[in-house]
Chains A and B, each alone.
Chain A
């Protein structure tokens, strides 16, 4: 069975602090894909990153970084030097492919100016 757990329901940080959003997944598949999406107050989910199960290399994109660890079935997302514009709900998702994604329940991040 596929499952994604985002244990942090809500997080508040002060601007410029670093923050890590946790994502733990369960799957029996040997090949799978992990995603992160951002949902700002406007409501439209924005694709941030895709990772496949064979690529454990961490990725950095500006202030965003992702830490994929198969040993702990985790795919955590860190925002460095947070900004007010980072306030959003963030979803982690797991799929055998992008045609069938299982989403976590989301983490609401509030960045306080």
Chain B
């Protein structure tokens, strides 16, 4: 069964900590995405990557960075976590073009 796996389901971090959210897909997909989901705001794109070592900013990249050293892995980094980054983070991948995304189960991050 093809999958997108996010390393943590729940995470609690302190303000100012550097936080790594990991995402791995086993479908050999070219594209990978990081979204955050907040009540009343839907899903908002943070960053995406269409190839190894390539990245593009989405709608809300401030406070985040990403890393894609291998095709199957796409990491989201919160350089200095803040309470307004408390959210559900969703990773997704797709084959490119018109194909639908495959999503991971999400990481619910709480910054205290």
**Which A residues are closer than 8 A to B by beta carbons?**
4, 9, 33, 35, 37, 42-47, 50, 52, 91, 93, 97-101, 103-106
Total interface residues on B, CB under 8 Å, equals: 25
A-B contact pairs, 13 of them (CB 8 A): A42-B105, A45-B101, A91-B42, A91-B43, A98-B100, A98-B101, A99-B31, A99-B50, A99-B94, A100-B45, A103-B43, A105-B40, A105-B42
Of chain A, the residue at the smallest CB distance from B35 is A103
Closest 4 CB pairs of A and B: A47-B100, A45-B103, A103-B43, A105-B42
| A105 partner, pick from B41, B45, B106, beta carbons under 8 A | B41
CA distance A101 to B41 in the complex (A): 14
CB distance from A5 to the nearest CB of B (A): 10
Within 8 A of A (CB), among B50-102: 50, 88, 90, 92, 94, 96-102
Flag if B41 contacts A45 (CB, 8 Å).
no
CA distance A44 to B2 in the complex (A): 13
CB distance from B36 to the nearest CB of A (A): 11
Q: Which residues of A contact B103 (CB under 8 A)?
A: 37, 44-46
